[in-house]
Structure 1
Amino acid sequence: MTTMKRRNRMKQFPEGIEVIDDITKKDGVETLEGKIGPLIFGKGCQSHFIALRAGMYCDEHPHATESIIFTVKGEWVLYSQGKRFHMKPGSLFWFGPNIPTGYEVPFHEDAFILVFKGERNYASKSDMIQYLKGLREKLIQKNKEGVPFSFRELPEGHPAIAFAEKLRKAQ
């Protein structure tokens, strides 16, 4: 659909409604935690996506705000507080404020998740993009300091590798 057709289509909706035809085709910022981009920002809520790259590993870390996360496509592993959960298309989970979560993709295909925030973390989409560009640089620096962001960088016998092998055997 052309930009003009999209704009014309949007005009048929009343004020206060925003539509995205295909969230998997939105622009974002490529980081070591995946490609991340803003989607819809409401008055008191927001959504964004993360394209989790095949082979990616992101150790658990807390976020100040709660999230509801839906797996749109692909498979990945949610890690939190010593537990791992195999997430598949259609999987949905919630985490509360300051609960650490990690994301692992021990598969040959990318995964795509949709993140809903019950409050606005950024004043605008452009503010989020600026934050993500800074995050990209911070993560690159952490990686240079030895923090792993891929399965290739994990030591032999790492629990994420063991869980991935268990998943492969079960399939």
Structure 2
Amino acid sequence: MNIQFVGKNVELTDALKEVTEQKLSKLEKYFEDPINGNVTFSTQRNNKTIEVTINLPGTILRAEETSDDMYASIDKSVDILERQIRKYKTRLQKRYKEGQTIRFENVLPYEREEETEDPDKPTIVRRKRFFLQPMNYEEAVLQMELLGHNFFVFRSAETEEISVIYKRKDGNYGLIEPEL
């Protein structure tokens, strides 16, 4: 596993990197090829946060965990990733072996907007850009669940129009499509 480490308000020690690599290495049994991942450690007050993103062919697995101990956060995030992999392993393997990947490009790092003069005026604090490849709504639901989001923007394979799928309070899904 190829891992890039980033620290925000945290000193990245060799011990912290080694423990993280060791814990994440137990996920390698689920993958045939070497995989790439990003690990971001951050500290805010007494909260230690770890954000792990694993880039797979055509999909992204992500876990974020906060606690008062960085090593506990590492353990919890690895458990979350392992549950995601086990939950979606059959679907991911089927799509990957049949050449039907979840067509989603990696999200580029966000660019911070300049400070505005009016502090009460809402500002854009995060911007994401990604390439939208056509996919059906089942693939969009899978990608949304893997990312842990409650909505997902995608290009419909049927109409080539941009659509949004979202999770409803009753546990079902909603689909927003543009009117042609």
Structure possessing the higher radius of gyration over alpha carbons? 2
Give TM-score scaled by structure 1 length.
0.32
Give TM-score scaled by structure 2 length.
0.30
